Structure 1
Amino acid sequence: MALSLANDLSPSNAFPAYFAGRPDQCPPCFNCLLPAFQCKQFAPCNEYNGACDCPPGFGGNDCIEPTCGSLADGKNRHVRKGKDCDCSDGWSGLNCNVCETDEACNPLMPEQLNGTCYKGGLVVHQNFQMCDVTNRKIVDQLKDKKPQVTFSCKADDRTCNFQFWVDRVESFYCALDDCEFSQNIQFDSNSTDYKCKDIKCSCIPDRMLCGEDGSIDISDFLSEEIKGPGSFSCSSKTKSCTFEEPAMNELISDVFGDKSIQLDCNASECLHYTEIPGFQRPAKPSNAGLIAGSVAGAAILLGLLALILWLTARRSQQTDKLGAIRLTDDESAQLLANHTPATLQFRKVCYEVNGKGILQDVRGNVGPGQVLAILGASGAGKTSFLDILARKNKRGKATGEFLVNGRSVEDHKYKDVVGFVDQEDALMPTLTVYETVLYSALLRLPRDMTAEAKRLRVYETLEELGILHIKDSLIGQEGNRGISGGEKRRVSIACELVTSPSILFLDEPTSGLDSFNAFNVAECLTNLARGYNRTIIMTIHQPRSNIVALFDQLILLARGRVVYSGELSACQTHFESIGLACPTGYNIADYLIDLTMNTTGASQIVSPQDSSTPINNEPGTSVHNGEPHSLERCNSVGNESNAWGEVRPRQRISRATQQRDLFGGSTDLNDLFKRYNDSGVAASIDERIKESIDEASDRPVEMASPLGRGYARIGWFAQFVLLSKRTFKNLYRNPMLLLTHYAIAVLLALLCGYLYFRISNDLSGFQGRLGLFFFILSLFGFSTLTSLNLLVMERTIFMRERANGYYAPITYFMAKVMFDIIPLRVLPPIIMGLIIYPTVGLVPEGAVFARFLLILVLFNVASASVCLLIGITVKEPSIANLVGSLFMLFSLLFAGLLLNHDSIPGPVRFLQKLSIFHYAYEALLVNEVTYLTLTEKKFGLSIDVPGATILSTFGFNAQAFSADLLGLTVYFGVFLTLSFAAMHFLLVEKR
């Protein structure tokens, strides 16, 4: 009946038209869609082509033939010929499904990843096991026919399949469904358990145990009795496995006396090593202790810094209680010990700029104990003449004969014994009045003079100028008010007076002062001249009559030429002799200036007998007050003025009328110049100069130096110490800049620590590192631009102090570098690094952390050296900021994040070598990532990618750390050297 049914369902009967004309001897075509054909191994039938989808290791039309080669061959495996299978290298088993080496698994991995032959037994995706049956009775019963089992499971489908082989020929197979897979790990053994609820088995007809001649047939038993549940268990301790199923166990027990089928199995599965059961990537260690320690370290560092600043500020406020402010006789003698009184004489002084004459044929003489005043209207050449006498560095060409005590003196010797007070004040706003003058004294007074004596000299100077009561007041600046403008002027004078120079030049020292303080300043200068036998030369604009009375010598300039030069006492007589007598009640200084202002080339000199003509002046011209004195005032005009020579308001209109009448007919300057050159006053100056030259030539050789030996000032190291103290004091007294740098470092470090907390070691973590390092470098790079404004503000101070011989440029430069770079450029990156590094979770190694801090510090100081050069070479603050910002942006462009190294066009690739950001950025990444293993989620796998590979992908060189450090060091050294060279050669006062 079964045979008849089979014939009825054969393909030729079901599809007669399709098989028409087919020879009868041809076997029917296999089609698993037809009941006559079945897929073995319970393989599914493809409904589209009628072929069986055989499990791995089986082939043929009905999946009954084992295949050879390896799993890596996929569907290209060939079926076994005979009883032996030729497996590929690294593969074994009856159907070559069991891997033996890791290399054998490599072809099964994606994109050339390395595979691992996992033999732990627990299924991950699909594993295969080759087992020998070890039941003694079964082995004995079969004799030389070796019983074996192949077993495989798929985790996703929760299915397994079981094949029983005798003498390498499959006898029956089973399919297990609804399976659970587990692993029990103990300290001395591991075990795996596969438990399946449903089992179905089937015999292969005419095979051993399934109807083969001479063997039993268990076909009905397998198909009817075996239902499940079943289990497959292996133990590493006993190195054996068991296959159990209730009906099967009963059969084994009844026939062979064993509880179950006993097996010795070799399990394998090709995996990426990250998929191996039990593999767990080491979690990043908790950085709680390191974070706490680093934050505490940063807090301690900030606390120590605050304590140092507080102690320094407190110490600077503790001034000595000196009592009476007077120098002792011994100290006064010491101050004057090496002093030689200086007579300054000059003649034929000329000065021109770009071919234009500014001064012409100026002569004069002033001796020790005398005060020479240079008068003239605006533009007369007073300041230019004073600069030439002081031997300032002028832009034009100056000629003439300059003598000190009858001899010519070299510039460097001359500048050692002169002082110069400029018209505009250049003082450090963060110093007190006392400190400002003290630093001048400490830097410029004799080296062998005691510090106590120098301080006493400072107090005496402050008292002489009437500013002792404000000695502890800050100088101040715009936006941070300090002392008044007039007080600043007196501080500038005090800085020069404190050294008590042989010759002191002052450019309008009384400007900005009220009449009382102006007289005090002038009187102090006179006392200095006469009490200390000094020579004082000043320009002055419209002095009061009581100040004019203090002058000994007078030079009156008009359009760069001399109208008068000589003793003040002979001035009135000279002008009376040429018919220009000073009117009654008129300040002679105002009269002389007005005289030079009201001149033409066509008018004639007024004759002496016409000098009583009523005088007048231009409306609005002020009449200065003054104490009565025979030199500085003309005779009083009855009751028109009070005892001080002050014109009463009701008489101003009358005085204006007199002034207008006086200069109604203007004088001729050429006649004034000629009358002076032909006068006896001019001849007496020439005679005194000749006498001084003759006296100097008669002196012995050992006494030939016109200024004596002078005195030695403090050395470079002492200058450096003093300037360092001043620079540091200026820094901490400008707290907003200092505090802002530290506050930004702390706050942004905490913010970055929060945003990047415990950064992962995967590609997103690498991206985070790229952004973090880029942000840190950008922060410190642009923060160095704050140095530009400081340098621009101190430019004038440095040039003035250098011109006045305060110190050598190298000492100022080194102090600036040490006490600007260390507090502002070294400590902030260290503080920020202490907080960021542990909170972000960067590589927890001491050496890597130290290199991280080194890179940040080196980058910051190198950037600061660039800004130092820009601040020195670019005078305008706005332009300096623009240049600095453009430099930083250029460096950022070529850092390596915005432009890949390999994508930069060849002709401009060298520009990356000019980027300071590139060196630091690459060094930070190489230091952090080179030996770091990053994971990438791909193909469902956590693929490990060496950090060096990622770096090369982004265009960075994993071997460039040392070269990058060297680049930063060279950057710092080169720009620091260029900065000093620029300061030395460019920041030179040219007037």
Structure 2
Amino acid sequence: MVTIEIQTQTTHHSQYSTIFKKAKRPVTLKFEDVVYKIKTKEGGILKKKSKSEEKTILKGVTGMVLPGEVLAMLGPSGSGKTTLLTALGGRLGGQISGSITYNGKPFSNQMKRNTGFVTQDDVLYPHLTVTETLVFTALLRLPNTLTKQEKVTHAESVITQLGLTRCKNSIVGSPYLRGVSGGERKRVSIGQEMLINPSLLFLDEPTSGLDSTTAHRIVSILWELANGGRTVVMTIHQPSSSLFYMFHKVLLLSEGCPLYFGKGEEAMDYFARIGYAPSVPMNPSDFLLDLANGVVSNDSHEDPAVIKQTLVSAFRTNLAGRLKAELHEIDGDDHEGLEDKQYFTQWTTTWWQQFSVLLRRGVKERRHESFSGIKIGQVLVVAFVSGLIWWHSDISHLQEQMGLFFFYAAFWGSLPLLEAIYTFPQERMMLEKERSSGMYRLSSYFIARTVSDLPMELALPTIFVTITYWMAGFKPTAGNFLGTLNVVLLCVLVSQGLGLAIGALVVDQKSASMLGTVIMLSFTLVSGYMVQNIPSFIDWTKYLSVSMYTYKLLLVSQYKATDTYPCGTGDACLIGEFPSIKPIGLGGQVFSVVAMAIMLLGYRFVAYIALMRVGKTIK
């Protein structure tokens, strides 16, 4: 029996190696006369009206990449390389025209499932290790035809084949956190896409910021991937000559116009034939970039705009017609494997699997932040200072006790809101990347992200209330204490929901933080503690205030209308008649709870709707 298990595991490992080395679904990518336009606005503070103008980014780009080929798109900054790559990857919206086909068919959900896309910036969780990053990705992206252990083994196989074994237990890191090297981080990004064994792989500047040795290793890996039957398309800024000759095809762009498309080793001969040859031996990519910028030589006085126009005309005369003819001659439409609808149309994992994996990943990534000593220390210091300030403020100091409840509402209304505002803006790039690849449902991410924050979000206010409640000398009964605690926790959850909604709606973190502060200050002003007699024309705003409902419920949790307090020499007055309490009242608990429950769900619903704009969901 043991022997059978060992043989089975060995077989699976062999299958994983095969998956990595050979593409199961070859893809022929064709694009013809691709044009992309955007609308730009010109105007400013001093101008009365802003004019909307249309700008053309891509101007009729044509090309073709076959399985087993690497296409490198070169050009200066602003030439349209990334825009074209994004369009070919099915991730570009807007006014795009022309034809882009994958085995003769337009981009579809099936094709998206079979496509890998590596962005220029490595969007990775910095506190996860290399192994954790790839294992979590494998658990989310690989289909349920594989067991959990098989997915983990697959991730380990990718780690080995990408040469990441040495750093597999190191955290990925970020510009502000020391982790693996830039080349290793780039290989982790490539490994995430290779887990699904894509037939089509797009990479945006995979060698950016890397030294020549590391860049050569990255391109060598991509060349090997293409050699396994994959179609690889990449943008690259200024490759070395050794890298340049590794590309099967090269596309040179200048201001959105193609200047050359063809084999890399034939590029220099082509430009020499049309009268542009380097005066001294030089790196082909450097020479091509000079041409794309309209520079022939350092001592040339020719107008760059004229040179560019000449090169564009030469391309249309010498290459465009032959390229389009070749495009229609080669038949790349006979790969039937892409239409395995049973494999592609459904989510690769169930909702519950996505939720559980995202929850575990979220807890691992944010545990350093949630359980940081600084955060816990700050709350403890404020708790003890508050407890000392309100030390044993009994019923004879009713106004002071009310002040502590107001502080509860203000402090635990503002702190969770300001922290929650930064939740989605910080993860926006990650969410966009993962949703664009169809990794999980938005609902599973949203709920997992919310739940993963709850332990610390609720633990700290619980500790805070426990310390201050007993130090302040409130009613020493379990019912009163639990009532106060539950109100504070409800306030925390509602404020957190408001912060999530603001963060999801307002992309700019600074603007979102300012908006959240203004809203919470406004809520605090109308809560009923600072001003009891609010003018009637603005009195309605208090019904939108989480601070007002929290403050009211905190008073109700501690006092009854029939309770008394010393109001003179030997006299006792009803608390319900206290001047600061009477305008607020000690009734209407159910209405306040229902209002906060509606806000609790409503704010999160707004945040969810706002997040639907990020990335594109596969249905």
| Partners of 1:724 and 1:849 in 2: CA distance | 31
Structure 1 residues 544 and 953, CA, compared in 2 at 3 Å: closer, same or farther? closer
Report the equivalent of 1:881: 513
Q: Distance in 2 between matches of 1:372 and 1:446?
A: 29
User: Structure 1 length as normaliser, TM-score?
Assistant: 0.56
- Correspondent of 2:352 among 717, 722, 726: 717
Structure 1 counterpart of 2:28? 343
- Contact 2:19–2:197 at 8 Å: present in 1 too? no
Cα displacement string for residues 940-990 of structure 1 (whole angstroms, at most 9, x for unaligned residues): 4x223233233785412222111111111111111111111111136779x
- In structure 2, relative to structure 1, the CA distance for the partners of 1:364 and 1:975 (3 Å cut) is same
Q: Tell me by how many angstroms 1:578 deviates.
A: 2.5
In the alignment, the residues of structure 2 paired with residue 482 and residue 572 of structure 1 have an alpha-carbon distance, to the nearest angstrom, of: 41
The alignment partner of 1:482 has SS state of: coil
Does structure 1 retain, via aligned residues, the 8 Å contact 2:118–2:203? Answer: yes
Does structure 1 residue 672 correspond to structure 2 residue 357? Answer: no
Give the counterpart letter for 1:924 in structure 2. L
Partner of 1:136: none
- Matched residue count: 591
Separation of aligned partners in 2, 1:337 and 1:581: 39
Q: CA deviation at 1:479?
A: 4.3
The letter for the 1-side match of 2:76 is A
Q: Does 1:562 align with 2:196?
A: no
Residue 335 and residue 597 in structure 1: after superposition, are their counterparts in 2 closer, same or farther (change >3 A)? closer
Change in Cα spacing, 1:453 to 1:521, as seen in structure 2 (3 Å) is: farther
**Residue 110 of structure 2 aligns with which residue?**
413
Q: Which residue of 2 aligns with 1:155?
A: none
Counterpart of 1:543 in 2: which secondary structure?
A: coil
| 1:381 and 2:15 correspond | no
Q: 1:858: which partner in 2?
A: 490
1:435 Cα deviation (Å)? 2.0
Greater relative contact order, per chain length (Cα 8 Å cut-off, separation 6+): 2
Between the aligned partners of 2:244 and 2:508, the Cα distance in structure 1 is: 41
The equivalent of 2:390 in structure 1 is: 756
1:891 and 1:917 in contact (8 A); partners too: yes
- Map of 2:427 onto structure 1: 794
The aligned amino acid for 1:923 is: L
The structure-2 alpha-carbon separation of the partners of 1:515 and 1:715, relative to structure 1 and needing over 3 Å to count, comes to: same
In the alignment, which residue of structure 2 is the partner of 1:470? 167
Rounded Cα–Cα distance in structure 1 between residues aligned with 2:209 and 2:388: 57
For 1:669-708, what aligned pairs fall within 5 Å after superposition? 669-679=308-318, 681-692=319-330, 696=333, 706-708=338-340
Please report how far the alpha carbon of residue 867 of structure 1 lies from its aligned counterpart in structure 2 after TM superposition: 1.0
Distance 1:432 1:921 in 2: 44
Structure 2 contact 435–615 (Cα < 8 Å) conserved: no
Q: Distance in 1 between matches of 2:464 and 2:406?
A: 14
Q: CA deviation at 1:537?
A: 0.1
SS of 1:353's equivalent in the other structure is strand
Shift of 1:583: 6.0
Counterpart pick for 2:459 among 819, 822, 827:
827
The 1-side partners of 2:184 and 2:204 are apart by 16
Q: 2:413 aligns with which of 776, 781, 797?
A: 781
The alpha-carbon deviation at position 733 of structure 1 amounts to 2.1
Q: Deviations over 1:630-678 (max 9, x none)?
A: xxxxxxxxxxxxxxxxxxxxxxxxxxxxxx4798999733333333333
Superposed, which structure 2 residues align to 1:926-945 within 5 Å?
926-930=556-560, 933-938=563-568, 940=569, 942-945=570-573
Give the distance between the partners of 2:448 and 2:579, measured in 1 at CA: 41
Letter in 2 for 1:392: R
Match of 1:390 in 2: 89
Alignment RMSD = 3.0
Say yes or no: does 1:571 pair with 2:267.
Answer: yes
- Structure 2 distance, partners of 1:551, 1:336, is 19
Aligned to 1:922: 552
- Structure 2: gaps spanning 5 or more residues: 1-8, 40-53
Taking the TM superposition and a 5 Å limit, the aligned residue runs for 1:503-582 are: 503-531=200-228, 533-581=229-277
Note the C-alpha offset of 1:823: 2.2
Q: Counterpart of 1:898 in structure 2: which amino acid? A: M
**Are 2:504 and 1:805 equivalent residues in the alignment?**
no
Q: Which amino acid aligns with 2:147?
A: T
Q: Is the 2:75–2:252 contact (alpha carbons within 8 Å) kept by the matching residues of 1?
A: yes
Query: Which residue of 2 is the match for residue 430 of structure 1?
Result: 127
Q: 1:328 to 1:485 in 2, by over 3 A?
A: closer
Aligned partners of 2:23 and 2:197 also within 8 Å: no
Deviations 1:551-573 (A, max 9, x none): 11111112211111123344344
Q: Residue 344 of structure 1: CA displacement?
A: 0.3
Residue type of the alignment partner of 1:670: Q
The 1:665–1:483 alpha-carbon spacing in structure 2 relative to 1, beyond 3 Å, is closer
Which string of whole-angstrom CA distances, capped at 9 and with x for unpartnered residues, describes residues 731-757 of structure 1?
Answer: 21226x644443344444444444434
Offset of residue 349 of structure 1:
0.8
Secondary structure at the counterpart of residue 328 of structure 1: helix
Output the CA distance in 1 between the equivalents of 2:201 and 2:301. Answer: 37
Distance 1:410 1:505, change over 3 A: closer
1:496 is displaced (CA, Å) by: 2.1
Deviates more, 1:544-553 or 1:945-954: 945-954
* Counterpart in the other structure of 2:50: none
Matched residue, 2:45: none
Instruction: Name which one, 1 or 2, has greater alpha-carbon Rg.
Output: 1
Counting only pairs closer than 5 Å after superposition, residues 123-202 of structure 1 correspond to structure 2 as none
Matched residue SS, 1:476: coil
Q: For the residues of structure 2 that align with 1:791 and 1:665, how far apart are their CA atoms?
A: 45
Give the deviation of 1:863 after TM superposition: 0.5
2:43 aligns with none
**1:427 Cα shift?**
2.1
Deviates more, 1:796-805 or 1:861-870: 796-805
Partner of 1:308: none
Cα offset, 1:534, TM superposition: 0.8
Matched residues in 2 for 1:919 and 1:722: separation? 36
Q: Deviations over 1:705-737 (max 9, x none)?
A: 7554445511222111111111111221226x6
- 1:325–1:565 Cα change, 3 Å: farther
Give the whole-Å Cα distance in 2 for the aligned partners of 1:334 and 1:522. Answer: 20
Using the size of structure 2 for normalisation, the TM-score is 0.87
> What is the CA deviation profile of residues 477-501 of structure 1, one whole-angstrom value per residue up to 9, with x for unaligned ones?
4543333444433333332233331
Deviates more, 1:416-425 or 1:662-671: 662-671
Give the distance between the partners of 2:96 and 2:10, measured in 1 at CA: 43
- Give 2:81's aligned amino acid: K
Counterpart for residue 978 of structure 1: 606
1:448 to 145, 163, 184: 145
Please tell me the residue identity of whatever aligns with 2:60.
D
Deviations 1:422-458 (A, max 9, x none): 1122222222222223322222122222333433433
Q: In the alignment, is residue 960 of structure 1 matched against residue 593 of structure 2?
A: no
Distance 1:932 1:746 in 2: 35
Whichever residue aligns with residue 34 of structure 2, its letter is V
Taking a change above 3 Å as real, the CA distance of residues 726 and 974 of structure 1, as seen in their structure-2 partners, is: same
Structure 1 residue aligned with 2:578: 950
Q: For residues 505 and 951 of structure 1, what CA distance do their matches in structure 2 show?
A: 69
Change over 3 Å in CA distance of 1:811–1:665 after alignment to 2: closer
Match of 1:733 in 2: 368
Amino acid at match of 2:589: F
Normalized per residue, which structure has more strand?
1
Secondary structure of the corresponding residue to residue 365 of structure 1: strand
